[in-house]
Structure 1
Amino acid sequence: MRALSGLSSAVRQYLLVTANYWAFTLTDGALRMLVVLHFHSLGYSPLQIAALFLFYEMFGVVTNLIGGYLGARIGLNRTMNIGLGIQVAALLMLTVPAAMLTVPWVMAAQALSGIAKDLNKMSAKSAIKLLVADSEQSTLYRWVALLTGSKNALKGVGFFLGAGLLALLGFAGAVLVMATALAMIWLASLVLLKKDLGTASAKPKFRDMLSKSRPINVLSAARLFLFGARDIWFVIALPVYLSSVLGWDFWLVGGFLAAWVIGYGAVQSVAPTLTRRRDGQVPDGRSAAVWAFLLAGSPVAIALALEAGWQPQAALLGGLMLFGVLFALNSSLHSYLIVSYAKADGVSLDVGFYYMSNALGRLLGTLFSGWVYQAYGLPACLWVSSGFVLLAALISLALPQRAQQTKRAA
């Protein structure tokens, strides 16, 4: 505690925001694994289980847009705490007797969890903008990368946590333990998080939710296709393929995906070192386009290997590692650019709009994943994924470069 008291106010707030984000992410990952494992044990097919998460993704689109507006009006501390409170309520909904755990009830709980997740994420990403001076772009990039990478690594840890709690305590007991722990974090956050964090100086109007900044609009469009490209093969097609074609049991599939997410988060955390420009400057719009073009080739390589009859397990595992590294760098770079582009006054409006595009991309990717895989198979999903990444790269060419930003600032 003495060490914490010696830190600056900005660093203490950053640590509080990060701790909130970490706690939420653990429960989010664990809840996803709990629902998947529990309903799989009840005989649900992978596509039926995926349908349980449909509202989770759909509500994220609306939540990011409205959440950014609320953050600018009432403060990011409140939107973050509202998100934590809603997640506690979503968890408690799932502690009811087994007979009440119908599909509509679980989908409703997942809808609340989706709202909570995007309120929490939008608040955390927006808050960092306010805690770092505009002149400290390298620090901003490092802080964003650490927050983003640690979140994804912890989501993978949450997969293991959910499976372990389910084995030890059963479904209702596991969910109750998570709700109790998160409620304690929520109460601490209500007391400690800065009260006026992120409140805009002039109350924004409802029409201000739609961004008018060209760089943010361009980056948001690129983000939509980037995350659609990942989820179009990763969310449904890949787990179903590993299970039904390669014959992996469910625990092996879940464990592998959890390990992949942890590694993905670790790469995100060190992205500032790996993506640093030769002149020592932080990356710009050109960097986003270059890294996206590099990413576009990895799904094609996996698809060609599968179509050529190569050993599918080796092709998938090797391709997944390459895709994971390149996608993590793209994602971390995007996360930095949105925080950098956003206006400090009412930052959540810009960040919320951007993550609305992220959520829409995930929703489209999820829907395409089930349809394309069922109709045409995994290689087709990979080809469509590559096409989405190419669109993201081409859109990113319109992002401002460092020289343009410097000239504009002067």
Structure 2
Amino acid sequence: MSTSSGTRNYAIVTMAYWADTMADGAIRMLVLFYFYQLGYSALQVASLFLFYELFGILTNFAGGVLASRYGLKSTLFMGLGTQLLALGMLAFMPAAGLTVIWVMASQAMSGIAKDLTKMSSKSAVKLVAGDAEGRLYRWVALLTGSKNALKGVGFFIGSLLLSVMDFQSSVMVIMAVVALAMISAGLLMRGGLGDVRNKSKFSQLISRNRAVNMLSVARFFLFGARDVWFVVALPVFLSSVLGWKFWQAGGFMALWVIGYGCVQAAAPAILRGRDPTGKTAKRLAFILAAIPILMAIGLYVGWNATAVVVGGLIVFGVIFALNSAVHSFLILDYTDHDKIAMNVGIYYMANACGRLAGTVLSGLLYQLGMRQGGLAGMTWCLVASALFLIATGLISLALPKQQEKKSIA
């Protein structure tokens, strides 16, 4: 495949990924707020996303093998098609039929779809950008940052749609966006993308690259630290404790994710210097751990809750975005072309495991803490976040402190 053809296909894959990401953010807000207004508790709302995270883990576990055998183009269209089926389950089911099990099944399919499209796009950037000094880092940062900014847009769209129309109609709007992206990709893409010479086996799902394995464990704790207070506890806290309306809470979270994405995209300029190493990831993790500690102390001693949570979240978002951007570069830097899909799959499997743990703990700790009244629910979640981040920093000590491109992969 020529360079121009590869770049063209990569641009198409990226646009499809953006559409799916926006849809993923929108449906998350729709489901969360719709069922919360029906009277579901924080833990019950969290349970709706358990299959989403669980099947995301399974998808990343097997997705690398699928991509290495059939190519990234195939996994991209598998993801988009699965997302349409997941949205159709919600859009065309009468409100009375939207049971917990049905919604969990739909979310399971969304989890599969999201991770198939993400793996396809993240792996494709390595094939197009190559290993040139600085270029891979910039391209990965731009892709990851733009993806998260669009997920934030999805958060706002989902919250806004639920404010102006019913749940099923809102889902249909999102479904139309994904369908348009899938049809456009099918018409515009030429040839394949990411077809590899070596066909991987399921027995190779544990990487022989120590750096990849340690980075994956660090990624587990990093994203667990975010989701333990961001996914369920934060929107419920904003709505029930601070009294924000759904569109206000969703809008704020959308702006946070958009800003988070912009910081990720600008990470190479913000951090400056050469490509980051494991030492960079370690420093950022320990700096990040201090933020939820200070926030928890602030809530405990009675500082203004709105100022603590809103201000703390903004600072947390900046440092977290930089740390995540460094991780996203390192996973591609640690591997070679024939191992891309496998190692990215392993890495995002750990990412999904962290989100699953964070989602469950977010609902559980918030609900247990609220039994004590006041701000205890959010405080408990922040303490758990700090512990996860300390673990991230300690594990990052084992990452290479200088560039060791493809030394073992």
**Match for residue 374 of structure 2?**
none
Give the equivalent residue in structure 2 for 1:401.
401
Partner secondary structure for residue 127 of structure 1: helix
Q: Secondary structure at the match of 1:242?
A: helix
| Contact 1:199–1:345 under 8 Å retained in 2 | no
Does the 8 Å contact 1:75/1:195 carry over to 2?
no
Match of residue 301 from structure 2 = 308
Q: Which amino acid aligns with 1:387?
A: L
The reply on whether 1:336 has 2:329 as its aligned counterpart is yes
Identify the residue that residue 88 of structure 1 maps to in structure 2: 84
Aligned to 1:157: 153
Q: CA deviation at 1:406?
A: 7.3
Q: Could you tell me whether the CA contact under 8 Å between 1:24 and 1:84 is conserved in 2?
A: yes
Q: Distance in 1 between matches of 2:4 and 2:191?
A: 17
| Distance apart, 1:132 and its partner CA | 1.3
8 A contact 1:200–1:345 mirrored in 2: yes
Quick one: which of 4, 9, 14 aligns to 1:18?
Answer: 14
| Corresponding position of 1:388 | 388
Q: What one-letter code is carried by the residue in structure 2 that aligns with 1:52?
A: L
Provide the residue aligned with 1:4 in structure 2: none
Is 1:362 aligned to 2:361, yes or no?
no
Letter matched to residue 310 of structure 1: W
How far off its partner does 1:68 sit? Answer: 1.1
**Larger deviation: 27-36 or 207-216?**
27-36
Shift of 1:380: 2.5
TM-score, scaled relative to structure 2: 0.92
Match of 2:221 in 1: 225
Per-residue Cα deviation, 1:151-186 (whole angstroms, up to 9, x for no partner): 111111112222333444432222223223322321
> Once superposed, what is the RMSD of the aligned Cα atoms?
1.9
Segments of 5+ residues of structure 2 without an aligned counterpart are 370-376
Percent of aligned positions with the same letter in both sequences? Answer: 55
Q: Do 2:65 and 2:341's aligned partners in 1 also have CA atoms closer than 8 Å? A: yes
Partner of 1:122: 119
Aligned-pair CA distance for 1:238: 2.1
Structure 1 SS opposite 2:203: helix
Bigger mean CA offset, 367-376 vs 16-25: 367-376
- Does structure 1 residue 97 correspond to structure 2 residue 97? no
The range that moved more, 41-50 or 125-134, is: 41-50
Distance 2:107 2:335 in 1: 30
Query: Is the 1:141–1:272 Cα contact (8 Å) retained in structure 2?
Result: yes
Question: Counterpart amino acid of 2:117?
Answer: N
Alpha-carbon separation, structure 1, partners of 2:193 and 2:133:
20
- Measured after TM superposition, the shift of residue 306 of structure 1 is 1.3
Give 1:37's aligned residue.
Answer: 33
Contact 1:343 1:350 in 2 (8 A): no
Deviation at 1:367, TM superposition (A): 1.4
Q: How far apart are residue 289 of structure 1 and its match? A: 0.8
Structure-2 separation of matches of 1:328 and 1:208: 31
**8 Å contact kept, 2:224–2:358:** yes
The alignment's TM-score, normalised by the length of structure 1, stands at 0.92
* Off by >6 Å, runs of 4+ in structure 1: none
AA aligned opposite 1:205: K
> Partners in 2 of 1:359 and 1:374 — Cα distance?
23
For the Cα contact (< 8 Å) 1:228–1:362, is it kept in 2?
A: yes
For residue 211 of structure 2, what is the aligned residue in structure 1?
215
Q: Secondary structure, in 3 states, of the residue corresponding to 1:178?
A: helix
Corresponding residue for 1:54? 50
- Residue 56 of structure 1 and its aligned partner are, at CA, apart by 0.6
Report how many residues are paired: 398
Task: Determine the C-alpha separation between the residues in 1 that align with 2:295 and 2:247.
Answer: 24
The residue aligned with 2:103 is 106
Distance 1:164 1:397, change over 3 A: same
List alignment gaps of at least 5 residues for structure 1: 1-6
